[in-house]
A = this chain, B = another copy of it.
């Protein structure tokens, strides 16, 4: 391994000043076409690569953006991560993906790292754990623009891309009611988070509108796993407090419920109606096919990226408090 070649090296070899080399490499019109070609040729031959640390230190040109998600390996987020990564690539940005593991503390440290590395901007969906938003204030203070998607800090003035959780959950609940279900339960996450709170409210609103007696919001702050789904449903059965329909905020939990219903011989949709949030690769295979609320990952990714890009290129280019709401879709299948 030989030491990496720098602009100064090129300058020395070519007996010109390194500032000229710098300009030549960036196609500055101030440099003679002839020398530009010589420099470019030399750079190419010797595999010159810009040192972005130096560029960023200088303060000019920063194409690094950071993405923070609670979990990389949950389908909703991994889809968005994948899409955003591609968008970033196309637009010439470098994207770093960070995972908070649903922990406020980790999220906070990630923010510190982002500041230290001078990222140009951040796209973030907050952890379930995050109730305090000081770290985003810090980000503001350092002048790093950021955009929230899905899970947001509502007390922070920054653009947000949201899903119509209230409306869609309202619709889903109403759909179940119209189908004749009377004891509808709603399983969701910590209602401190906008996403779960809005779904919760949408559910309640529909129940109340139709004056049903049975209201059963089941809020869990644990990690959404299939096992947790099994447990929640088992507890429901044991408690004799059995609903005749469920709206579930997590595909993982839904899998657990499905497992238990099979084990117990509970028929879907006859004995139990079911609507879940989120898609699953195998949705076409699983029987009965589960009705689901599908979120527009592509649209969310694109909107978030656009907003951030605008913010990076000009901090005043848009209303800092811009909120976009994208529509998710209720896909009725065989489970209700």
Contacts and interface: CB of A to CB of B under 8 A. Distances in A.
Contacts of A86: 99, 101
Interface in A128-183: 138, 140-143
Q: How many copies does the complex hold?
A: 2
Interface in A263-306: 280-282, 284-287
Contacts of A73: 75, 78-79, 81-82
B49 A53 contact: no
A54 to B, nearest CB: 5
Contacts of A140: 1
Nearest to A93: B113
Given A53-B56, A95-B97, 18 more contacts: A4-B142, A51-B118, A52-B117, A53-B117, A53-B118, A54-B57, A72-B72, A73-B82, A81-B97, A85-B98, A86-B99, A94-B117, A95-B98, A226-B281, A262-B285, A280-B281, A282-B286, A287-B287
Interface residues of A, number: 58
A118 B285 CA distance: 46
A250 to B, nearest CB: 11
Nearest to A4: B142
A258 interface: yes
A71 interface: yes
A80 to B, nearest CB: 9
Nearest to A118: B53
A34 B117 CA distance: 30
